[in-house]
């Protein structure tokens, strides 16, 4: 591939083996350095790689998603940076032109949008990579073809590995970055993510009634270098009417994060600790294949006295405003029942938070017991661990001792 300049028509022709594509005068916006590189015929060093290679390199190098902000917000590869070629509105305009007019017309419109952004996009990449120095010098001093340049290596993708990623990759390569693009784009990543759920994993489920401090146990296990998956953390929800921790991700993004975490742990012989949940966590759903695996995994049930758990949740949730608490109670009023809903709210309004939570804890215990007993062959999976209180360190020791005995 090489470039040539036609001074009469003021266009640049980029010529490859199959077709010459005339680029519009939008390139007047290209900074002088990029223009010189094109005219001089700088060779393209962009490499297309598979999803497996892409994810392996992503452990060390930044990933840039050049899709529109709307696509990125809906769902993206975890930890990827959004570097949109088009805004949401620009994407609509280009897409409409492609469908209703022609591919060539869409490309020219896209070039008008792209040209004015080139310098800013390069500077944004430099800022994210923390590499404001001249990246070209680093690239030129790399002598081993199999050795990746560390300071300026980046990964790039769009939706299907098409023109958007190719255009931005071209720009960043010309500037001096070492660019890898994903074959199949984000669509390839989604296929990979869904495949992770069909694999077999060894789960150890931390069970227990509401107020048992199960999430605290997960965090302590993580500190002790154990493999964990924090479903509530990924879902940004504590799994109850009081569980909202802010905006939840989309279902697709929830799945992307879960798939990435499962893949990172792999098939460890020590297994994965995970909290016992219903299949729905707030507005999100645990993928069916993972849910089926969880329902056939051993449950280590923290058997903590009711009053101890009541003290814990009163301290944990009692700090929330009355408005938040009342609204949470109203959300479960159909299952809680009219009388208990009224009593729980009245206790709150009378500043008797503990008695309000007593009603709610009784309700949640009933529903947890029902869900636990819905497991097939429960007796083969259930391991009860007597615990005196919500004491994280002591309960972790008891849990690990029980896991060792039952391994």
How far, CA to CA in Å, does 278 sit from each of 139, 234, 240, 326, 339?
A: 51, 15, 10, 23, 26
Residue 343: phi, psi to the nearest 5?
Answer: -65, -45
Max CA pair span of the chain: 87
Check if the beta carbon of residue 80 is closer than 8 Å to that of residue 127: no
Q: Which of 123, 125, 115 is nearest to 90 (CA)?
A: 115
Which tokens go with 303?
A: 């058997």
> Is-catalytic flag, 158?
yes
State the pairing for strand pair 11-15/20-23. antiparallel
| C-alpha count within 13 angstroms, C-beta hemisphere, residue 131 | 22
Beta strands in 112-214 (DSSP E): 153-157, 178-182, 203-207
The total of other beta-carbon atoms located within 10 Å of residue 81's CB is 17
Q: How far apart are CA 225 and CA 218, in angstroms?
A: 11
Q: Which of 386, 231, 206 is nearest to 298 (CA)?
A: 206
Q: What is the DSSP string of 279-294?
A: SEETTEE--HHHHHHH
Check if the beta carbon of residue 322 is closer than 8 Å to that of residue 352: no
Q: Which of 154, 146, 8 is nearest to 80 (CA)?
A: 154
Catalytic residue among 153, 158, 402, 403: 158
Active site residues: 158
């Amino acid at each position: 591939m090489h470039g040539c300049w036609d001074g009469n028509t003021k266009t640049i022709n980029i010529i490859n083996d199959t077709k010459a594509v005339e680029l519009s005068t939008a390139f007047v916006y290209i900074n002088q350095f990029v223009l010189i590189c094109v005219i001089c015929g700088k060779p393209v060093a962009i490499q297309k790689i598979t999803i497996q290679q892409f994810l392996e390199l992503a452990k060390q190098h930044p990933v840039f998603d050049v899709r529109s902000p709307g696509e990125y917000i809906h769902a993206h590869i975890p930890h990827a940076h959004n570097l949109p070629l088009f805004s949401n509105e620009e994407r609509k305009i280009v897409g409409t032109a492609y469908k209703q007019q022609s591919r060539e017309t869409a490309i020219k419109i896209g070039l008008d949008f792209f040209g004015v952004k080139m310098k800013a996009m390069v500077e944004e990449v430099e800022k994210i990579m923390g590499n404001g120095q001249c990246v070209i010098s680093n690239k030129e001093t790399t002598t081993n073809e199999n050795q990746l340049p560390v300071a300026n290596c980046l990964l790039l993708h769009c939706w299907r590995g098409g023109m958007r990623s190719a255009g931005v990759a071209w720009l960043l390569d010309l500037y001096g970055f070492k660019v890898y693009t994903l074959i199949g784009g984000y669509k390839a990543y989604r296929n990979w993510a869904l495949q992770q759920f069909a694999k077999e994993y060894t789960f150890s489920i931390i069970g227990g009634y509401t107020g048992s401090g199960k999430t605290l146990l997960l965090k302590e296990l993580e500190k002790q270098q154990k493999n964990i998956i924090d479903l509530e953390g990924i879902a940004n929800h504590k799994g109850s009417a009081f569980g909202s921790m802010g905006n939840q991700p989309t279902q697709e993004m929830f799945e992307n994060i879960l798939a990435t975490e499962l893949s990172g742990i792999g098939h460890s012989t020590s297994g994965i600790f995970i909290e016992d949940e219903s299949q729905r966590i707030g507005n999100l759903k645990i993928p069916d294949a993972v849910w089926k695996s969880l329902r056939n995994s051993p449950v280590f049930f923290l058997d903590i006295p009711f009053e101890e758990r009541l003290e814990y949740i009163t301290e944990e949730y009692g700090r929330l405003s009355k408005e938040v608490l009342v609204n949470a109670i109203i959300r479960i009023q159909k299952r809680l029942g009219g009388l208990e809903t009224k009593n729980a709210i009245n206790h709150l309004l009378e500043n008797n938070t503990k008695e309000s939570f007593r009603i709610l804890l009784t309700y949640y215990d009933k529903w947890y017991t029902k869900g636990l007993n819905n497991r097939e062959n429960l007796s083969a999976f259930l391991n009860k661990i007597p615990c005196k209180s919500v004491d994280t360190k002591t309960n972790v020791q008891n849990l690990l001792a029980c896991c060792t005995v039952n391994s």
